[in-house]
Structure 1
Amino acid sequence: MKKFPIAQTGVAVTPIGLGTVKLGRNQGVKYPTTFEIPDDKAAANLIAHAKALGINLIDTAPAYGSSEERLGKLLKEQRCDWVICSKVGEEFENGKSSFNFTPEFVRQSCHRSLQRLKTEYIDIMLVHSDGNDTHIINHYGILDVLAELKKQGLIRAVGMSTKTKAGGLLAAEKSDVVMVSYNIEYKEDEPVIDYCAAHDKGVLIKKAFGSGHFCHNPSKNPIQDNIDFIFSKKGVTSIIVGTINPQHLEENVSALTLKRQNHKIGFGYV
Protein backbone atom coordinates (compact mmCIF):
# COMPACT_ATOMS: atom_id res chain seq x y z
CA MET A 1 0.00 0.00 0.00
CA LYS A 2 1.39 3.38 -0.99
CA LYS A 3 2.36 5.77 1.80
CA PHE A 4 1.69 9.49 1.95
CA PRO A 5 3.67 12.17 3.81
CA ILE A 6 2.66 14.13 6.90
CA ALA A 7 3.78 17.69 6.11
CA GLN A 8 7.59 17.92 6.01
CA THR A 9 8.18 15.63 8.99
CA GLY A 10 9.52 12.56 7.24
CA VAL A 11 6.54 10.57 8.52
CA ALA A 12 4.59 8.73 5.82
CA VAL A 13 1.40 6.75 6.39
CA THR A 14 -0.88 4.39 4.53
CA PRO A 15 -4.36 5.68 3.60
CA ILE A 16 -5.89 3.32 6.16
CA GLY A 17 -4.76 3.14 9.76
CA LEU A 18 -5.78 0.75 12.53
CA GLY A 19 -7.49 2.34 15.52
CA THR A 20 -7.00 0.44 18.77
CA VAL A 21 -9.52 1.78 21.27
CA LYS A 22 -11.17 -1.66 21.25
CA LEU A 23 -7.91 -3.29 22.32
CA GLY A 24 -8.02 -1.49 25.65
CA ARG A 25 -11.48 -0.18 26.46
CA ASN A 26 -15.12 -1.24 26.12
CA GLN A 27 -16.67 1.20 28.60
CA GLY A 28 -18.03 4.63 27.75
CA VAL A 29 -17.81 4.04 24.01
CA LYS A 30 -20.36 4.96 21.35
CA TYR A 31 -20.37 1.90 19.13
CA PRO A 32 -23.73 0.41 18.10
CA THR A 33 -23.01 -3.00 19.66
CA THR A 34 -21.16 -4.19 22.74
CA PHE A 35 -17.91 -6.12 22.41
CA GLU A 36 -15.35 -8.01 24.43
CA ILE A 37 -11.76 -6.78 24.51
CA PRO A 38 -9.73 -9.36 22.55
CA ASP A 39 -7.08 -11.45 24.27
CA ASP A 40 -3.41 -11.18 23.33
CA LYS A 41 -3.59 -13.89 20.68
CA ALA A 42 -6.56 -12.28 18.91
CA ALA A 43 -4.95 -8.83 19.18
CA ALA A 44 -1.67 -10.13 17.75
CA ASN A 45 -3.54 -11.78 14.88
CA LEU A 46 -5.36 -8.52 14.13
CA ILE A 47 -2.12 -6.57 14.01
CA ALA A 48 -0.46 -9.24 11.86
CA HIS A 49 -3.41 -9.12 9.46
CA ALA A 50 -3.24 -5.33 9.25
CA LYS A 51 0.47 -5.58 8.49
CA ALA A 52 -0.16 -8.22 5.82
CA LEU A 53 -2.70 -5.90 4.20
CA GLY A 54 0.03 -3.25 3.93
CA ILE A 55 -1.17 -0.96 6.74
CA ASN A 56 1.56 0.89 8.63
CA LEU A 57 -0.39 3.38 10.77
CA ILE A 58 -1.64 2.40 14.22
CA ASP A 59 -3.58 4.79 16.44
CA THR A 60 -3.76 4.69 20.24
CA ALA A 61 -4.15 6.99 23.26
CA PRO A 62 -4.01 7.02 27.06
CA ALA A 63 -7.80 7.42 26.89
CA TYR A 64 -8.03 4.00 25.24
CA GLY A 65 -7.64 2.11 28.50
CA SER A 66 -4.81 -0.42 28.31
CA SER A 67 -4.24 0.06 24.56
CA GLU A 68 -0.81 1.71 24.80
CA GLU A 69 0.56 -0.86 27.23
CA ARG A 70 -0.72 -3.74 25.13
CA LEU A 71 0.76 -2.30 21.95
CA GLY A 72 4.10 -1.95 23.69
CA LYS A 73 4.15 -5.73 24.02
CA LEU A 74 2.40 -6.60 20.78
CA LEU A 75 4.68 -4.48 18.60
CA LYS A 76 7.88 -5.77 20.16
CA GLU A 77 10.56 -6.39 17.52
CA GLN A 78 8.42 -4.81 14.80
CA ARG A 79 8.57 -1.15 15.83
CA CYS A 80 10.17 -0.12 12.55
CA ASP A 81 7.17 -1.48 10.65
CA TRP A 82 4.69 0.91 12.27
CA VAL A 83 3.89 4.59 12.43
CA ILE A 84 2.49 5.04 15.93
CA CYS A 85 0.02 7.84 16.64
CA SER A 86 -0.83 8.56 20.27
CA LYS A 87 -2.34 11.47 22.18
CA VAL A 88 -2.15 13.70 25.22
CA GLY A 89 -4.84 15.46 27.24
CA GLU A 90 -7.51 12.85 27.90
CA GLU A 91 -7.32 10.15 30.54
CA PHE A 92 -9.74 7.26 31.14
CA GLU A 93 -9.86 5.70 34.58
CA ASN A 94 -12.57 3.92 36.54
CA GLY A 95 -14.95 4.17 33.61
CA LYS A 96 -14.70 7.94 33.23
CA SER A 97 -12.77 10.42 31.11
CA SER A 98 -10.90 13.41 32.52
CA PHE A 99 -8.79 16.07 30.85
CA ASN A 100 -5.56 17.86 31.67
CA PHE A 101 -3.82 20.15 29.17
CA THR A 102 -1.21 21.80 31.38
CA PRO A 103 2.35 21.83 30.04
CA GLU A 104 3.59 19.80 32.99
CA PHE A 105 1.04 17.07 32.47
CA VAL A 106 1.56 17.00 28.70
CA ARG A 107 5.28 16.36 29.18
CA GLN A 108 4.56 13.70 31.80
CA SER A 109 1.97 12.05 29.57
CA CYS A 110 4.37 11.95 26.62
CA HIS A 111 7.10 10.27 28.65
CA ARG A 112 4.58 7.80 30.06
CA SER A 113 3.40 6.91 26.54
CA LEU A 114 7.00 6.32 25.49
CA GLN A 115 7.40 3.91 28.39
CA ARG A 116 4.12 2.14 27.79
CA LEU A 117 4.78 1.75 24.08
CA LYS A 118 8.39 0.70 24.74
CA THR A 119 9.73 3.10 22.15
CA GLU A 120 12.24 5.95 22.01
CA TYR A 121 9.95 8.16 19.93
CA ILE A 122 6.32 8.52 18.92
CA ASP A 123 5.72 9.26 15.26
CA ILE A 124 2.57 11.37 15.64
CA MET A 125 1.38 12.96 18.89
CA LEU A 126 -2.03 14.61 18.92
CA VAL A 127 -3.87 16.65 21.51
CA HIS A 128 -7.01 14.74 22.57
CA SER A 129 -9.48 17.64 22.75
CA ASP A 130 -12.45 17.92 25.10
CA GLY A 131 -14.22 20.14 22.57
CA ASN A 132 -12.72 23.48 23.63
CA ASP A 133 -10.13 23.36 20.88
CA THR A 134 -9.16 27.02 20.55
CA HIS A 135 -9.04 27.57 24.32
CA ILE A 136 -6.75 24.56 24.75
CA ILE A 137 -4.39 25.85 22.07
CA ASN A 138 -4.37 29.50 23.14
CA HIS A 139 -4.56 29.18 26.92
CA TYR A 140 -2.22 26.25 27.51
CA GLY A 141 0.16 26.70 24.58
CA ILE A 142 -0.14 22.96 24.16
CA LEU A 143 1.04 22.78 20.57
CA ASP A 144 4.14 24.75 21.53
CA VAL A 145 4.84 22.20 24.28
CA LEU A 146 4.54 19.37 21.77
CA ALA A 147 6.80 21.29 19.39
CA GLU A 148 9.44 21.40 22.13
CA LEU A 149 9.17 17.64 22.59
CA LYS A 150 9.51 17.29 18.84
CA LYS A 151 12.75 19.28 18.90
CA GLN A 152 14.00 16.89 21.58
CA GLY A 153 13.41 13.98 19.21
CA LEU A 154 10.64 12.40 21.29
CA ILE A 155 7.97 13.13 18.68
CA ARG A 156 8.22 13.30 14.89
CA ALA A 157 4.94 15.06 14.03
CA VAL A 158 2.52 17.04 16.22
CA GLY A 159 -1.10 17.99 15.88
CA MET A 160 -4.56 17.81 17.37
CA SER A 161 -7.67 15.66 17.26
CA THR A 162 -10.23 18.44 17.07
CA LYS A 163 -13.97 18.79 17.57
CA THR A 164 -14.66 22.20 16.05
CA LYS A 165 -14.00 23.84 12.70
CA ALA A 166 -12.31 26.85 14.34
CA GLY A 167 -10.10 24.59 16.41
CA GLY A 168 -9.21 22.49 13.40
CA LEU A 169 -8.15 25.54 11.40
CA LEU A 170 -6.05 26.91 14.26
CA ALA A 171 -4.43 23.54 14.89
CA ALA A 172 -3.65 23.14 11.19
CA GLU A 173 -1.99 26.54 11.16
CA LYS A 174 0.19 25.74 14.18
CA SER A 175 1.07 22.06 13.66
CA ASP A 176 1.80 19.27 11.19
CA VAL A 177 -1.43 17.29 11.20
CA VAL A 178 -5.03 17.38 12.34
CA MET A 179 -7.52 14.62 13.01
CA VAL A 180 -11.09 15.55 12.10
CA SER A 181 -14.45 13.87 11.74
CA TYR A 182 -15.57 13.48 8.14
CA ASN A 183 -18.06 11.25 6.32
CA ILE A 184 -21.07 11.43 4.02
CA GLU A 185 -23.29 12.69 6.85
CA TYR A 186 -20.80 15.01 8.55
CA LYS A 187 -19.00 17.63 6.47
CA GLU A 188 -18.52 20.51 8.92
CA ASP A 189 -14.73 20.11 8.95
CA GLU A 190 -14.32 20.40 5.17
CA PRO A 191 -12.72 23.87 5.49
CA VAL A 192 -10.05 22.32 7.72
CA ILE A 193 -9.27 19.70 5.08
CA ASP A 194 -9.16 22.40 2.41
CA TYR A 195 -6.70 24.45 4.50
CA CYS A 196 -4.48 21.43 5.01
CA ALA A 197 -4.50 20.64 1.31
CA ALA A 198 -3.44 24.19 0.51
CA HIS A 199 -0.71 24.31 3.18
CA ASP A 200 0.78 20.80 2.96
CA LYS A 201 -0.54 19.54 6.31
CA GLY A 202 -1.63 16.01 7.12
CA VAL A 203 -5.28 15.05 7.68
CA LEU A 204 -6.34 11.95 9.58
CA ILE A 205 -10.03 11.09 9.48
CA LYS A 206 -11.92 9.77 12.51
CA LYS A 207 -15.51 8.52 12.53
CA ALA A 208 -15.29 7.70 8.82
CA PHE A 209 -18.11 5.18 9.28
CA GLY A 210 -19.96 6.99 12.05
CA SER A 211 -18.36 4.86 14.80
CA GLY A 212 -19.83 1.79 13.11
CA HIS A 213 -23.38 3.10 12.94
CA PHE A 214 -23.29 3.45 9.15
CA CYS A 215 -22.88 -0.31 8.85
CA HIS A 216 -26.42 -0.70 10.17
CA ASN A 217 -28.10 1.74 7.80
CA PRO A 218 -30.04 0.76 4.66
CA SER A 219 -27.38 2.03 2.26
CA LYS A 220 -26.46 -0.53 -0.38
CA ASN A 221 -22.78 -0.37 0.52
CA PRO A 222 -22.02 2.10 3.33
CA ILE A 223 -18.33 1.19 3.53
CA GLN A 224 -17.68 1.69 -0.19
CA ASP A 225 -19.86 4.79 -0.27
CA ASN A 226 -17.90 6.48 2.52
CA ILE A 227 -14.50 5.38 1.21
CA ASP A 228 -15.44 6.86 -2.18
CA PHE A 229 -16.69 10.07 -0.58
CA ILE A 230 -13.76 10.61 1.77
CA PHE A 231 -11.00 9.89 -0.72
CA SER A 232 -12.58 12.06 -3.36
CA LYS A 233 -11.71 14.98 -1.09
CA LYS A 234 -8.35 16.57 -1.82
CA GLY A 235 -6.27 16.82 1.33
CA VAL A 236 -7.23 13.59 3.10
CA THR A 237 -4.16 11.59 4.11
CA SER A 238 -5.56 8.59 5.97
CA ILE A 239 -8.64 7.26 7.75
CA ILE A 240 -8.50 5.53 11.12
CA VAL A 241 -10.52 2.32 11.22
CA GLY A 242 -11.29 1.23 14.77
CA THR A 243 -12.06 -2.45 14.47
CA ILE A 244 -11.12 -5.75 16.09
CA ASN A 245 -12.57 -7.74 13.21
CA PRO A 246 -9.93 -8.74 10.62
CA GLN A 247 -12.63 -9.25 7.98
CA HIS A 248 -13.93 -5.71 8.44
CA LEU A 249 -10.40 -4.36 8.07
CA GLU A 250 -9.95 -6.37 4.89
CA GLU A 251 -13.26 -5.03 3.54
CA ASN A 252 -12.04 -1.48 4.14
CA VAL A 253 -8.83 -2.13 2.23
CA SER A 254 -10.80 -3.78 -0.59
CA ALA A 255 -13.07 -0.73 -0.80
CA LEU A 256 -10.01 1.49 -0.99
CA THR A 257 -8.55 -0.65 -3.77
CA LEU A 258 -11.80 -0.51 -5.73
CA LYS A 259 -11.90 3.25 -5.34
CA ARG A 260 -8.41 3.52 -6.81
CA GLN A 261 -9.23 1.21 -9.72
CA ASN A 262 -12.43 3.02 -10.65
CA HIS A 263 -11.17 6.56 -10.10
CA LYS A 264 -7.48 6.68 -10.87
CA ILE A 265 -7.31 10.43 -10.31
CA GLY A 266 -10.14 10.61 -7.79
CA PHE A 267 -8.07 10.27 -4.64
CA GLY A 268 -7.73 13.45 -2.66
CA TYR A 269 -4.06 12.73 -2.09
CA VAL A 270 -3.14 11.99 -5.73
Structure 2
Amino acid sequence: MTTLHELYRPLGSTGLRVSPLGLGTVKLGRDQGVKYPNGFTIPDDAQARALLNQARELGINLIDTAPAYGVSEQRLGPLLRGQRDQWVIVSKTGEEFEQGQSHFDFSPAHTRLSVERSLKRLETDRIDLLLVHSDGNDLAVLQDTGVYQTLAELKREGKILAYGISGKTVEGGLLALQQGDCAMVTYNLGEQGEKPVLDYAASHAKGILIKKALASGHACLAEGVDPVRASFELIFAHPGVSSAIVGTITPTHLAANVATVAAVLQGLG
Protein backbone atom coordinates (compact mmCIF):
# COMPACT_ATOMS: atom_id res chain seq x y z
CA MET A 1 0.00 0.00 0.00
CA THR A 2 1.36 3.41 -0.98
CA THR A 3 1.35 5.88 1.93
CA LEU A 4 2.52 9.41 2.67
CA HIS A 5 4.29 8.64 5.95
CA GLU A 6 7.75 9.36 4.51
CA LEU A 7 6.64 12.49 2.65
CA TYR A 8 5.72 14.90 5.46
CA ARG A 9 6.90 18.47 4.96
CA PRO A 10 7.18 21.60 7.09
CA LEU A 11 4.21 23.98 7.24
CA GLY A 12 6.29 27.11 6.74
CA SER A 13 8.08 28.10 9.97
CA THR A 14 5.33 26.89 12.32
CA GLY A 15 7.25 23.81 13.48
CA LEU A 16 4.33 21.65 12.28
CA ARG A 17 5.02 18.83 9.83
CA VAL A 18 2.13 17.90 7.56
CA SER A 19 1.25 15.26 5.02
CA PRO A 20 1.20 16.62 1.45
CA LEU A 21 -2.47 15.70 1.28
CA GLY A 22 -4.96 16.88 3.89
CA LEU A 23 -8.50 15.66 4.50
CA GLY A 24 -11.20 18.30 4.18
CA THR A 25 -14.31 17.54 6.22
CA VAL A 26 -17.08 19.78 4.89
CA LYS A 27 -18.88 16.63 3.72
CA LEU A 28 -18.92 15.24 7.26
CA GLY A 29 -21.08 18.12 8.43
CA ARG A 30 -22.91 19.93 5.68
CA ASP A 31 -24.76 19.07 2.48
CA GLN A 32 -26.49 22.42 1.86
CA GLY A 33 -25.04 25.22 -0.21
CA VAL A 34 -21.91 23.28 -1.15
CA LYS A 35 -20.42 23.57 -4.62
CA TYR A 36 -20.06 19.96 -5.69
CA PRO A 37 -21.20 18.73 -9.11
CA ASN A 38 -22.85 15.61 -7.67
CA GLY A 39 -25.05 15.20 -4.65
CA PHE A 40 -23.74 13.17 -1.71
CA THR A 41 -24.99 11.73 1.54
CA ILE A 42 -23.31 12.81 4.77
CA PRO A 43 -21.53 9.69 6.12
CA ASP A 44 -22.79 8.18 9.35
CA ASP A 45 -20.43 7.78 12.32
CA ALA A 46 -19.23 4.33 11.28
CA GLN A 47 -18.44 5.52 7.74
CA ALA A 48 -16.78 8.68 9.04
CA ARG A 49 -14.66 6.70 11.51
CA ALA A 50 -13.62 4.30 8.76
CA LEU A 51 -12.64 7.22 6.52
CA LEU A 52 -10.53 8.82 9.25
CA ASN A 53 -8.87 5.49 10.05
CA GLN A 54 -8.11 4.97 6.38
CA ALA A 55 -6.67 8.49 6.08
CA ARG A 56 -4.40 7.85 9.05
CA GLU A 57 -3.24 4.50 7.68
CA LEU A 58 -2.47 6.20 4.35
CA GLY A 59 -0.24 8.68 6.17
CA ILE A 60 -2.58 11.70 6.18
CA ASN A 61 -2.09 13.69 9.39
CA LEU A 62 -3.74 16.98 8.36
CA ILE A 63 -7.46 17.49 8.89
CA ASP A 64 -9.35 20.61 7.83
CA THR A 65 -12.63 21.72 9.40
CA ALA A 66 -14.55 24.92 10.14
CA PRO A 67 -17.58 26.23 12.03
CA ALA A 68 -19.12 26.88 8.60
CA TYR A 69 -18.97 23.13 7.82
CA GLY A 70 -22.23 22.44 9.63
CA VAL A 71 -21.66 19.85 12.37
CA SER A 72 -18.17 18.84 11.17
CA GLU A 73 -16.34 20.04 14.31
CA GLN A 74 -18.91 18.51 16.68
CA ARG A 75 -18.55 15.13 14.94
CA LEU A 76 -14.75 15.21 14.78
CA GLY A 77 -14.35 15.71 18.54
CA PRO A 78 -15.71 12.27 19.49
CA LEU A 79 -14.38 10.60 16.32
CA LEU A 80 -10.80 11.67 17.08
CA ARG A 81 -10.82 10.80 20.79
CA GLY A 82 -7.53 9.25 21.84
CA GLN A 83 -5.82 10.32 18.59
CA ARG A 84 -5.16 14.02 19.20
CA ASP A 85 -1.39 13.85 18.88
CA GLN A 86 -1.64 12.03 15.57
CA TRP A 87 -3.40 14.90 13.80
CA VAL A 88 -2.64 18.45 12.76
CA ILE A 89 -6.04 20.14 13.07
CA VAL A 90 -6.94 23.18 10.99
CA SER A 91 -10.10 25.12 11.79
CA LYS A 92 -11.41 28.58 10.97
CA THR A 93 -13.22 31.65 12.24
CA GLY A 94 -15.34 34.35 10.64
CA GLU A 95 -17.96 32.38 8.71
CA GLU A 96 -21.02 30.91 10.41
CA PHE A 97 -23.51 28.67 8.62
CA GLU A 98 -27.02 28.51 10.04
CA GLN A 99 -30.40 27.63 8.55
CA GLY A 100 -28.81 27.12 5.16
CA GLN A 101 -27.21 30.59 5.08
CA SER A 102 -23.68 31.87 5.62
CA HIS A 103 -23.01 35.03 7.59
CA PHE A 104 -19.74 36.55 8.68
CA ASP A 105 -18.42 38.07 11.92
CA PHE A 106 -14.75 38.97 12.25
CA SER A 107 -15.02 40.99 15.47
CA PRO A 108 -12.56 40.29 18.31
CA ALA A 109 -15.38 39.09 20.60
CA HIS A 110 -16.77 36.68 18.03
CA THR A 111 -13.29 35.46 17.05
CA ARG A 112 -12.51 34.53 20.64
CA LEU A 113 -15.95 32.93 21.12
CA SER A 114 -15.53 30.98 17.88
CA VAL A 115 -12.10 29.61 18.81
CA GLU A 116 -13.20 28.66 22.36
CA ARG A 117 -16.24 26.91 20.87
CA SER A 118 -14.05 25.03 18.35
CA LEU A 119 -11.77 23.86 21.19
CA LYS A 120 -14.80 22.47 23.04
CA ARG A 121 -16.33 20.86 19.97
CA LEU A 122 -13.04 19.28 18.93
CA GLU A 123 -12.36 18.19 22.52
CA THR A 124 -8.85 19.61 22.47
CA ASP A 125 -6.73 22.16 24.31
CA ARG A 126 -5.21 23.63 21.15
CA ILE A 127 -5.90 24.07 17.46
CA ASP A 128 -2.77 23.71 15.36
CA LEU A 129 -3.73 26.21 12.66
CA LEU A 130 -6.61 28.70 12.79
CA LEU A 131 -7.54 30.44 9.55
CA VAL A 132 -9.74 33.47 8.94
CA HIS A 133 -12.60 32.20 6.74
CA SER A 134 -12.73 35.28 4.52
CA ASP A 135 -15.85 36.62 2.80
CA GLY A 136 -13.62 37.74 -0.08
CA ASN A 137 -12.87 41.25 1.24
CA ASP A 138 -9.55 39.96 2.50
CA LEU A 139 -7.73 43.27 3.00
CA ALA A 140 -10.61 44.93 4.83
CA VAL A 141 -11.07 41.87 7.03
CA LEU A 142 -7.37 41.80 7.97
CA GLN A 143 -6.94 45.56 8.40
CA ASP A 144 -10.22 46.78 9.89
CA THR A 145 -11.84 44.10 12.07
CA GLY A 146 -9.27 43.16 14.72
CA VAL A 147 -9.50 39.47 13.80
CA TYR A 148 -5.74 39.04 13.23
CA GLN A 149 -4.83 40.83 16.46
CA THR A 150 -7.19 38.50 18.34
CA LEU A 151 -5.63 35.43 16.72
CA ALA A 152 -2.18 36.72 17.72
CA GLU A 153 -3.42 36.93 21.33
CA LEU A 154 -4.86 33.41 21.16
CA LYS A 155 -1.51 32.18 19.84
CA ARG A 156 0.31 33.81 22.75
CA GLU A 157 -2.15 32.06 25.09
CA GLY A 158 -1.32 28.70 23.47
CA LYS A 159 -4.91 28.06 22.34
CA ILE A 160 -3.80 28.10 18.72
CA LEU A 161 -0.29 27.30 17.47
CA ALA A 162 -0.40 29.21 14.17
CA TYR A 163 -2.81 31.40 12.20
CA GLY A 164 -3.50 32.73 8.74
CA ILE A 165 -6.25 33.26 6.19
CA SER A 166 -8.32 31.21 3.80
CA GLY A 167 -8.72 34.05 1.35
CA LYS A 168 -9.59 34.94 -2.20
CA THR A 169 -7.16 37.68 -3.23
CA VAL A 170 -3.44 38.07 -3.84
CA GLU A 171 -3.29 41.22 -1.68
CA GLY A 172 -5.02 39.50 1.22
CA GLY A 173 -2.83 36.43 0.96
CA LEU A 174 0.35 38.50 0.95
CA LEU A 175 -0.71 40.59 3.97
CA ALA A 176 -1.82 37.46 5.82
CA LEU A 177 1.60 35.89 5.31
CA GLN A 178 3.50 39.06 6.24
CA GLN A 179 1.68 39.25 9.59
CA GLY A 180 0.86 35.56 10.17
CA ASP A 181 1.94 32.00 9.46
CA CYS A 182 -0.06 30.49 6.61
CA ALA A 183 -2.48 31.09 3.74
CA MET A 184 -5.00 28.74 2.19
CA VAL A 185 -5.07 29.52 -1.51
CA THR A 186 -7.01 28.39 -4.59
CA TYR A 187 -4.54 26.97 -7.11
CA ASN A 188 -5.44 24.43 -9.78
CA LEU A 189 -5.39 23.74 -13.51
CA GLY A 190 -8.07 26.36 -14.11
CA GLU A 191 -7.16 29.04 -11.55
CA GLN A 192 -3.61 30.24 -10.88
CA GLY A 193 -4.22 33.91 -10.13
CA GLU A 194 -3.04 33.60 -6.54
CA LYS A 195 0.39 32.24 -7.54
CA PRO A 196 2.18 35.38 -6.18
CA VAL A 197 1.07 34.27 -2.69
CA LEU A 198 2.78 30.91 -3.25
CA ASP A 199 5.89 32.69 -4.52
CA TYR A 200 6.03 34.90 -1.39
CA ALA A 201 5.55 31.88 0.88
CA ALA A 202 8.39 30.00 -0.82
CA SER A 203 10.83 32.87 -0.31
CA HIS A 204 9.75 33.70 3.27
CA ALA A 205 9.26 30.19 4.75
CA LYS A 206 5.52 30.59 5.23
CA GLY A 207 2.92 27.85 5.03
CA ILE A 208 0.59 27.28 2.06
CA LEU A 209 -2.43 24.99 1.96
CA ILE A 210 -4.14 24.53 -1.40
CA LYS A 211 -7.95 24.48 -1.60
CA LYS A 212 -9.96 23.44 -4.67
CA ALA A 213 -6.90 21.49 -5.83
CA LEU A 214 -8.94 19.24 -8.12
CA ALA A 215 -11.44 21.86 -9.28
CA SER A 216 -12.38 22.94 -12.78
CA GLY A 217 -10.02 23.13 -15.71
CA HIS A 218 -10.01 19.41 -16.45
CA ALA A 219 -11.94 19.81 -19.68
CA CYS A 220 -9.04 21.60 -21.38
CA LEU A 221 -6.67 18.66 -20.94
CA ALA A 222 -5.58 16.50 -23.84
CA GLU A 223 -7.24 13.14 -24.22
CA GLY A 224 -5.53 10.45 -22.16
CA VAL A 225 -4.13 12.93 -19.61
CA ASP A 226 -5.15 12.06 -16.03
CA PRO A 227 -6.61 15.31 -14.61
CA VAL A 228 -5.89 14.32 -11.01
CA ARG A 229 -2.24 13.61 -11.73
CA ALA A 230 -1.91 16.78 -13.84
CA SER A 231 -3.44 18.80 -10.99
CA PHE A 232 -1.04 17.44 -8.39
CA GLU A 233 1.94 17.85 -10.75
CA LEU A 234 1.08 21.53 -11.13
CA ILE A 235 0.57 22.06 -7.39
CA PHE A 236 3.63 20.24 -6.09
CA ALA A 237 5.95 21.65 -8.75
CA HIS A 238 5.67 24.90 -6.76
CA PRO A 239 8.15 25.00 -3.85
CA GLY A 240 5.80 27.14 -1.74
CA VAL A 241 3.13 24.47 -1.35
CA SER A 242 2.93 22.60 1.95
CA SER A 243 -0.20 20.51 1.41
CA ALA A 244 -3.34 20.19 -0.73
CA ILE A 245 -6.72 19.68 0.95
CA VAL A 246 -9.13 17.23 -0.68
CA GLY A 247 -12.66 16.65 0.57
CA THR A 248 -13.47 13.18 -0.66
CA ILE A 249 -15.61 10.82 1.42
CA THR A 250 -15.06 7.92 -1.02
CA PRO A 251 -12.42 5.43 0.21
CA THR A 252 -11.31 4.46 -3.31
CA HIS A 253 -10.84 8.13 -4.29
CA LEU A 254 -8.85 8.81 -1.13
CA ALA A 255 -6.49 5.88 -1.75
CA ALA A 256 -6.10 6.85 -5.41
CA ASN A 257 -5.32 10.47 -4.50
CA VAL A 258 -2.68 9.36 -2.00
CA ALA A 259 -1.06 7.04 -4.55
CA THR A 260 -1.02 9.81 -7.15
CA VAL A 261 0.49 12.40 -4.79
CA ALA A 262 3.16 9.92 -3.68
CA ALA A 263 4.05 9.14 -7.29
CA VAL A 264 4.18 12.83 -8.22
CA LEU A 265 6.40 13.73 -5.26
CA GLN A 266 8.73 10.79 -5.88
CA GLY A 267 8.94 11.87 -9.52
CA LEU A 268 9.79 15.45 -8.50
CA GLY A 269 12.25 14.22 -5.89
Report deviation, 1:122: 0.3
Q: Match for 1:23: what amino acid?
A: L
1:62 counterpart = 2:64? no
**Which of 35, 47, 53 is the matching residue for 1:48?**
53
CA distance in 2, matches of 1:38, 1:216: 32
Residue identity in the other structure for 1:111: E
**Quick one: which of 227, 236, 240 aligns to 1:231?**
236
CA deviations 1:216-242 (Å, max 9, x no partner) are 986631100101111001100000011
Aligned partners of 2:12 and 2:242 also within 8 Å: no
Greater mean alpha carbon deviation, residues 29-38 or residues 139-148 = 139-148
Cα distance change on mapping 1:93 and 1:219 into 2, 3 Å: farther
Q: In 2 relative to 1, CA 216–23 (structure 1 residues): closer, same or farther, beyond 3 Å?
A: farther
Alpha carbons 2:10, 2:16 under 8 Å: kept: yes
- CA offset at residue 262 of structure 1? 2.4
Whether the 8 Å contact between 1:19 and 1:59 is mirrored in structure 2 is yes
**SS of equivalent residue, structure 1 residue 136:** helix
Distance (Å, rounded) in 1 between the aligned partners of 2:57 and 2:229: 21
Gaps of 5+ in 1: 265-270
Matching residue's letter, 1:137:
L
Residue 22 of structure 1 deviates from its aligned partner by: 0.2
Cα-Cα RMSD: 1.5
3-state DSSP of counterpart to 1:155: coil
Q: Secondary structure at the match of 1:210?
A: coil
Please give the residue correspondences for 1:107-118 in structure 2 after superposition, counting only pairs within 5 Å. Answer: 107-118=112-123
User: Per the alignment, in what secondary structure is the counterpart of residue 73 of structure 1?
Assistant: helix
Instruction: Give the letter for the 2:83 counterpart.
Output: Q
> What's the CA shift for 1:9?
2.3
More displaced 10-residue stretch of structure 1: 232-241 or 8-17: 8-17
Correspondence for 2:208 among 203, 210, 214: 203
Alignment correspondent of 2:174: 169
Structure 1's 219 and 105: CA in aligned 2 closer, same or farther, altered over 3 A?
A: farther
Name the CA distance, whole Å, in 2 between partners of 1:246 and 1:120.
Answer: 30
Cα gap change, 1:234/1:7 in structure 2, threshold over 3 Å: closer, same or farther? closer
Deviation (angstroms), 1:257: 1.5
Please show how residues 15-164 of structure 1 align to structure 2 within 5 Å.
15-164=20-169
Change (3 A) 1:167 1:240: same
Q: Could you tell me the TM-score, scaled by structure 2's length?
A: 0.95
Once the two structures are TM-superposed, the CA of residue 144 in structure 1 deviates from its matched residue by 1.5
Supply the distance in 2 between the matched residues of 1:82 and 1:102 (Cα, whole angstroms).
Answer: 29
**8 Å Cα contact 1:209/1:215 also seen in 2:** no
Question: Are the aligned partners of 2:10 and 2:17 in contact in 1 as well (CA < 8 Å)?
Answer: yes
Once the 2 structures are TM-superposed, how far is the Cα of residue 214 of structure 1 from its aligned partner?
4.2
SS at 1:62's partner residue?
coil
* Letter paired with 2:139: T
Q: Hey, what's the Cα distance between the residues in 2 that align with 1:260 and 1:10? A: 21
Contact kept, 8 Å, 1:197 with 1:235, in 2: the verdict is yes
Partner of 1:267: none
The more displaced of 59-68 and 215-224 is: 215-224
Asked if structure 1 preserves the Cα contact closer than 8 Å seen for 2:19 and 2:62, the reply is yes
- For 1:215 and 1:37, locate their aligned partners in 2 and report how far apart those are by CA, in whole Å: 28
The 3-state SS of whatever aligns with 1:30 is coil
Secondary structure of 1:125's counterpart equals: strand
Work out the CA distance in 1 between the residues paired with 2:96 and 2:50: 27
**CA–CA distance in structure 1, aligned partners of residues 179 and 266 of structure 2:** 36
Supply the AA of the counterpart residue of 1:119.
Answer: T
Change in 2 beyond 3 A, CA 1:174/1:181: same
Instruction: List per-residue Cα deviations over 1:76-134 (Å, max 9, x = no partner).
Output: 01111100000000001111101000000000000000000000000000000000000
